[in-house]
Amino acid sequence: MTSATFKPIVYLKENCPFCLKVRLFLLESGLASDVEIRDFAPDSDREEKIRAELQPHLDKVSFPSAQLEPGRYVTESDDIVAFFAAKAGRDPAGMTVYRNYVDGVFAMSMKLWKENQELKKAASAA
Ligand SMILES: N[C@@H](CCC(=O)N[C@@H](CS)C(=O)NCC(=O)O)C(=O)O
């Protein structure tokens, strides 16, 4: 398969905030039909299959992941969004739903997660 005929594959874990970021971008930009989405529920048989599929290509499997071009695998949500944004000439900063999610619920969940980690660390050191 050549780069011209290859359909990028995006791997998404349900309920993952980073994966939702990628999914929202693809939906709002209208690019969802240009990629193959392989998603799975946590702890499902499908998760095992997808992890086994990705494992030979990545130092560490995490989600979201994507095969952007034949043999080119990436795992960072921002890199995946940047690749598709550049390819389609779309600016994520101008996408209302995507920006609302990234600057709102996503940013808040990252902040709370970090605070929780710090509280746990402080509690275990006390
Ligand atoms: N920096 C990464 C973080 C991704 C991340 O932490 N994803 C979690 C799921 S929410 C993950 O893959 N955890 C390990 C795992 O599920 O094996 C990104 O922005 O894509």
Pocket test for ligand 1, best of 53, 60, 62 (most atoms within 8 A of CB): 62
Q: What is the pLDDT of residue 3?
A: 74
Q: What is the pLDDT of residue 109?
A: 97
Q: Considering the domain boundaries, does residue 4 fall inside one?
A: no
Q: Considering the domain boundaries, does residue 46 fall inside one?
A: yes
Q: For the segment 41-92, what is each residue's pLDDT rounded down to a tens digit?
A: 999 999 999 999 999 999 999 999 999 999 999 999 999 999 999 999 999 9
Predicted confidence (pLDDT) at residue 103 exceeds the cutoff of 80: yes
Q: Considering the domain boundaries, does residue 57 fall inside one?
A: yes
Q: Which atom of ligand 1 sits closest to the CA of residue 64?
A: 20
Any atom of ligand 1 within 6 Å of the Cβ of 90? no
Q: For the segment 33-55, what is each residue's pLDDT rounded down to a tens digit?
A: 999 999 999 999 999 999 999 99
Q: Which atom of ligand 1 sits closest to the CA of residue 15?
A: 10
Q: What is the pLDDT of residue 126?
A: 85
Tokens of 112: 């709370």
Any atom of ligand 1 within 6 Å of the Cβ of 92? no
- Identify the CATH number of the domain in which residue 43 sits: 3.40.30.10
Q: Considering the domain boundaries, does residue 118 fall inside one?
A: no
- Count of domains observed in the chain: 1
Q: What is the pLDDT of residue 60?
A: 97
Predicted confidence (pLDDT) at residue 1 exceeds the cutoff of 90: no
- Interatomic CA distance for residues 84 and 80, integer angstroms: 7
Any atom of ligand 1 within 6 Å of the Cβ of 106? no
Q: What is the pLDDT of residue 42?
A: 98
Dihedral angle, C-alpha 25, 100, 12, 113, nearest 10 °: 150
pLDDT band at 4 (very low <50, low <70, confident <90, very high): confident
Q: Considering the domain boundaries, does residue 43 fall inside one?
A: yes
Q: Average per-residue pLDDT in the chain?
A: 96
- Interatomic CA distance for residues 104 and 24, integer angstroms: 14
**Full residue range of the structural domain in which residue 74 is found:** 9-90
